[in-house]
Amino acid sequence: MAKLFLLFTVTTSIEMYLLFTVSGFIGPMGTVALIMITGAAGAWLAKREGFAVLRQLGGHMKEGKVGQGIAEGALVLAGSMLLLTPGLLTDITGFLFIVPWTRRRIAPYVVTWFLRTFQITAWTG
């Protein structure tokens, strides 16, 4: 519980600092526009990539790589939520989770973490 509290407190503080700093460069209206543009672009990208992951999940199942497909789906979902949260740090992280090039490189780490955390040995990743 304390780690979660710290995560939200620190993340919010960093986001506020970044937004105030960016606002000093591009102004308040530019900052609001930036937040709205990244939110709209993120929603569009999340929808597109979410459907792509669902289509690819069938192929992953045939190849026996279910863990990879589920991890990519979870990353798209997490990235979508992060992009809907106003802020620059969450937007950057959300885009990293959604963009296929970075998502495919992050997914194996998510599978490994999941297997280790929940002590699962019979699941092919």
64: three-class secondary structure by DSSP: coil
Both structure tokens of 48: 């597109």
- For range 40-45, the mean pLDDT: 88
Give CA 92 to chain center in angstroms: 8
Chain mean pLDDT for the chain? 87
Q: How many helices (H) and strands (E) does the chain have?
A: 4, 0
Both structure tokens of 57: 């999940």
* pLDDT of 45 over the 70 cut: yes
pLDDT of residue 121: 66
